[in-house]
Amino acid sequence: GVQSSPPRLPLLSPLPRGAPEPDPAGGRYDDNGGTCMAVAGEDFCIVAATTRVSTGYSILTRSQTMVHKASSRCLVASAGFQADRVALHKLLTVRCSSYKQDHGREISCPAVAQMLSNTLYNRRFFPLYTFNLCAGLDKEGKGAVYTYDAIGSHERVGFSCQGSGKDLMQPVLDNQLASASPLLWPPVSTATKLTRAECLELVRSAFASAAERDIYTGDALQIFTMTRDGLTEETMQLRR
pLDDT for 173 beyond 70: yes
Q: What value does the mean pLDDT take over residues 153-175? A: 94
SS3 124: coil
Q: What value does the mean pLDDT take over residues 202-225? A: 96
* Residue 199 region by backbone torsions, left for phi larger than 0, else alpha for psi between -120 and 50, else beta: alpha
pLDDT of residue 6: 61
What percentage of the chain exceeds 90 in pLDDT?
Answer: 79
**Sign of the torsion formed by the C-alpha atoms of 191, 195, 201 and 202:** negative
SS3 74: strand
Question: By C-alpha distance, which of 222, 238, 206 is closest to 68?
Answer: 222
SS3 81: coil
3-state helix, strand, coil in the chain (%, to 5): 25, 30, 45
